Amino acid sequence: MRALLTSLSMTVFLASVSVADPLPSWTGTATKAGIIAFVERVTDPASADYVTPAARIAAFDNDGTLWAEQPVYFQLLFAIDRLKEMAAADPEVLTSDVLRAAAEGDMETVAASGTEGLLEIVSTTHSGLTVDEFQTEVRGWLDTARHSGTGLAYDDMVYQPMLELLSYLRDEGFRTYIASGGGLHFIRVFSQNAYNIPPEQVIGSIGNGSYSAGDGPPRVMKDPGIFFIDDKAGKPVAIEARIGRRPVIAVGNSDGDFQMLEWTTAGDGARLGILLHHTDSEREYAYGRDSHIGQLARGLDEAASRGWLVIDMARDWERIWPSGK
């Protein structure tokens, strides 16, 4: 009996520790305390800041917020690998200087091409096949490709502290959404397994598409061109259209997320904006104001005056990757 009671006591103790610390990979800084205090306020029926379960929406950026984005966006690396395969089968697909540079691995020329060049690469490699075929290609790439710096699979380079935050919010009755400048069909391939976010709760950029049924089974095709870019001012527009509610919490890492946080925190009642600042050059990357990827300048300048929390990765996170440090 004594052994049983001891075992039960230990179980209760461990459970209480787990409940007391929903964010175990976060250090005990004011940032962690601020997040927990906010969630406790908006989920406490006795609080003046109480938010009903139906209104508990949290929107997260993906690149640089939920998974890494350096040295370039992972979706672009997928597009370049796919372009090389396409060019090997048909060299005539390389119809421009930027496409030829991408196929040759000339990232300096690709970067110099700017947004227009990147969109050309994406449009070329993300069209001419069905959504199902495209997502099969993405899944195969994620299964085999590895990050040049860490050696990890790309969908293993998700941030453990953010996984804990997502889980914590869901445990407290929040619905968690992705609102990303990345491709909708690309992210939907891994969002369920990586983040426990189902594909219907992913909002992202969309290429042109069409429906076809005349010469085979009914299917949705991915066509050349970009239909909508879910970035900057596009994020609030897409969130409102897809969800029909303003989030209570918005989390991002760059000035591309500024309008999402601005719109979220402008709503009535308690609201929280969170920015992740990449400050850890030893365990990940340190970048911000002058970065060509994930630039964060205006957000840093205005976060304090707007009441937004800024996560300092080096200071606030004890652990970065699920698999290690």
pLDDT at 68 over 80: yes
Read off the pLDDT of residues 229-258 as tens digits, 9 standing for 90 and up.
Answer: 999 999 999 999 999 999 999 999 999 999
Read off the pLDDT of residues 134-166 as tens digits, 9 standing for 90 and up.
Answer: 999 999 999 999 999 999 999 999 999 999 999
Mean pLDDT score across all residues of the chain:
94
Number of domains within the chain: 2
Residue 200 domain-assigned (yes or no): yes
**Cα distance between residue 221 and residue 214, in whole Å:** 13
pLDDT at 221 over 50: yes
Q: How confident is the model at residue 214 (pLDDT cuts 50, 70, 90)?
A: confident
Residue 11 domain-assigned (yes or no): no
Residue 323: the pLDDT is 87
Q: Determine what percent of the chain is predicted with pLDDT higher than 90.
A: 90
Cis peptide leading into residue 71 (ω within 30°): yes
Same domain for 189 and 97: no
Residue 80 domain-assigned (yes or no): yes
pLDDT at 14 over 90: no
Domain span at 34 = 22-69+157-316
Same domain for 43 and 29: yes
Same domain for 280 and 195: yes
Residue 325 domain-assigned (yes or no): no
Same domain for 62 and 163: yes
Same domain for 201 and 166: yes
Picking from 85, 114, 144, the residue at the C-terminal end of a domain is: 144
What are residue 175's DSSP bridge partners?
57
Read off the pLDDT of residues 52-62 as tens digits, 9 standing for 90 and up.
Answer: 999 999 999 99
Same domain for 107 and 207: no
Q: Output the pTM of the full model.
A: 0.93
Q: What is the mean pLDDT of residues 123-138?
A: 98
Same domain for 267 and 207: yes
Residue 324: the pLDDT is 78
Residue 33: the pLDDT is 98
CATH code assigned at 234: 3.40.50.1000
Q: How many CA atoms lie within 13 A of 66 on its CB side?
A: 28
Distance of CA 163 to the CA centre of its chain: 11
pLDDT at 71 over 70: yes
pLDDT at 126 over 90: yes
pLDDT at 306 over 90: yes
On whether the CB atoms of residues 127 and 291 are closer than 8 A, the answer is no
Picking from 116, 144, 172, the residue at the C-terminal end of a domain is: 144
Same domain for 207 and 288: yes
pLDDT at 209 over 90: yes
Same domain for 190 and 100: no
On whether the CB atoms of residues 172 and 193 are closer than 8 A, the answer is no
Residue 18: the pLDDT is 47
Same domain for 108 and 48: no
Residue 282 domain-assigned (yes or no): yes
Q: What is the mean pLDDT of residues 128-134?
A: 98
Q: What would you report as the CA-atom Rg of the chain, rounded to the nearest whole angstrom?
A: 21
Read off the pLDDT of residues 174-186 as tens digits, 9 standing for 90 and up.
Answer: 999 999 999 999 9
Same domain for 31 and 111: no
Residue 76: the pLDDT is 96
